Structures are given as C-alpha cells and as structure tokens.
Amino acid sequence: MKLSDLPMSTLIIGKLEPFLLIVQIILIPLFFFKWEGFIFKKLKPPLWLFALPLLPLLLQILLPYLNPNGQITFLDVGQGDSIFIRMPYNQGNYLIDTGGVMRFEKEKWQQRGSLYDPGKKIVVPFLKSEGVRTLDKLILTHGDADHVGGAVALLEEIRVKQLIVPRVSDRSGLEEEIIEIASKKGADIYVAGMGIRWKTSGGNFLILHPSEMDGERNEQSIVLRATFGGKKWLFTGDLGSEGENSMARKIKDIDIDVLKIGHHGSKYSSSEPFLERTNADFAVISVGKNNRYGHPGKEVIKRLEERGIQIFRTDEDGAIIYKFKDNSGTFTTQLP
C-alpha cells in the first residue's frame, strides 16, 4: 500500500492567509535559532519549541470556523458548470456540479493521449486551495458530462458527506457510475425533487425542480433557490424554456436577485416570460470561450440587456466571486 493511500497521509490546509504567511516566515528562522541555542548548550529542546513553526498551520486549519464571511464562486471550467458555496463559520460547504467535457466520436488520429478533466485540473485544486477537506453536499443538477464529468476525480480527493441527484427515471451511464463510486466512498445518496429544503444560520436552500420523474434530461435539471448574503439566488443547471414553463406553473414566487442562466445561455432557455417572472438584477453565464454551440445565444444576451440585468460571463470574466458578510456582499471577477 502506498503511503498516500493511508488515512490522514495528506492534510489539506489551503493557501496560507497573507498575515499567517508572514508569521510563518518569521517563526521558521526563529525555531532554528532557538533550537541551535539549546543544542549548543547541550540542553534538550522543550516541546513548545517544536510547536512554533506549526502554529500558523494550526491557525489556518481553524480559520474557516472563525471566519464570519461567506463566499460563492462560479468557477471557470470552460463549457460546463461548477459553483462552490461556502457559508460563514464553515457551516456549509456546497458544490453544484463539477464541470466536465462532453465526449464526441473522433477519428483515432484526432484523439488525445490523455483527456482533459476540469474536475481534476480546476475544481479539485481550487477546493484544496480553499482548505476544503469535506463537502457537506455535492449537488449534481443532471447527468450530462459537462456538469458531472469531474465528479469521479473529485470523489477520489475530497470527502463528500451527501450526494444529491435529481429524482428522474432517465440517468446517464456516467451519473450511475458516480452514484456507485460515491456510495462506496461512504457518501449519503439523496434523490431529490421539488420541495426539499435545508437551512443554516446564514442561509436557506430550497429545491424547486424537478417535480416529475419523466422528461428530457436537461429539462429535469435540479433547480435550487437559495437565500444568503442579502440576495436571493436561482441555480438552474441546463433548464430550458420547457422546464422553465413547467416550474413557473407550479410555483408562485420565483422573484430573485441573481440568476444562473440555464444551459450556458442557450437560445432555448431564459425565455422572456421566465425573465419577467424571476425579475433578476444579475445574471451569471457559465460558458466556454469559442464553444462549438454558439453559447450564449445573441437572443438571450439581448433579452438580458433589454431588462437592464448586469451580466457576468465565465468566458470573458473568468471566475465570478461574491463575498459576503451578513446581508451585504460584493461581486468580483478573476481571470485565469
């Protein structure tokens, strides 16, 4: 057995906060200076001395539990979705989708030696940089590879307490594989539909869709409404106009502040009646640069602009981040 396979062989602490990095730079030379002094005097170094260089690392591990700020990050995973939500005081770490790459039939000479995996290359490194060792909930909106393809790599590196998948009759083979892996890893598998909710002291979460078992996979995407950071959010997976209409018929109040545009801005999503019903101030489009589908559709962008909605796009803005404390927060963007 490799050492890396042993429990606790790897400790994820995240990137050190600037002030802790400064403390670390000071304490390491201080440790060696003090240690050399004891050795020179032929004295046994006290145990507290060995704790000096470890102190910033311990504080880094404890920091999320002391941090009153929360954060949501729409990761730039190309043509796919992956959204990370961290609640204040580490009261909830949630990931909505994992990114991935749609596979198409290619000639043998066109195939790469190794396939690019956004889950392995982007999502997992990001979570580790944030010091995330455990996800409380991994929410896979539906079974398409550009939303769940990175889940296999993620499950190998990050502990998942609960995997949430939509209550549908038609699952992709990849989705079934992920459910099996997650179950073997000890995750609680939860098949969710309309009406499922949970709360933390900093936010409320409610699944609005799907309400039926049957239907086209995109139109059966999990739709999650959340309230935190002083804003109401709607995460729509690959929901198209058919799913939008179905949901709108069943739910009276969908008024929100931030809309994650469905299906990467496809012209068959974000219909005028749906935008009227949701009445968002901000729109986030997770989309790959120069993608083969022509996303986002010009019609969608026009509808958003005509309504005065501020648009964020991962293909142009990179990662989109909202940091908040209590009921106020600020959007920022971060290019790769």
Q: Are 287 and 79 in contact (CB under 8 A)?
A: yes
Tell me the pLDDT tens digit for each residue of 261-272. Answer: 999 999 999 999
**Cα gap 37→53, rounded to integer Å:** 17
Based on DSSP, count helices (H) and strands (E) in the chain, helices before strands.
Answer: 12, 17
Residue 50 confidence (pLDDT): 85
pLDDT at 5 over 70: no
Q: What are the tokens at 101?
A: 């790459």
**Cα gap 11→173, rounded to integer Å:** 33
Residue 110 confidence (pLDDT): 44
Question: How would residue 31 be classed by pLDDT, with cut points 50, 70 and 90?
Answer: confident
* Amino acid letter, residue 221: S
Residue 108 confidence (pLDDT): 46
**pTM reported for the whole predicted model:** 0.91
- Token pair 């490799």 in the structure block, residue: 2
Q: Are 141 and 157 in contact (CB under 8 A)?
A: no
- Token pair 């989309």 in the structure block, residue: 287
Residue 114 confidence (pLDDT): 59
Residue 277 confidence (pLDDT): 93
Tell me the pLDDT tens digit for each residue of 66-98. Answer: 999 999 999 999 999 999 999 999 999 999 999
Q: Are 264 and 287 in contact (CB under 8 A)?
A: yes
pLDDT at 329 over 60: yes
Q: ∠ CA(225), CA(226), CA(230), 5° rounding? A: 135
Tell me the pLDDT tens digit for each residue of 95-131. Answer: 999 999 866 444 443 445 557 899 999 999 999 999 9
Residue 106 confidence (pLDDT): 44
CATH number, span 67-334: 3.60.15.10
Beta strands in 129-274 (DSSP E): 134-135, 137-139, 159-160, 162-166, 188-192, 197-200, 203-209, 223-228, 231-235, 258-260
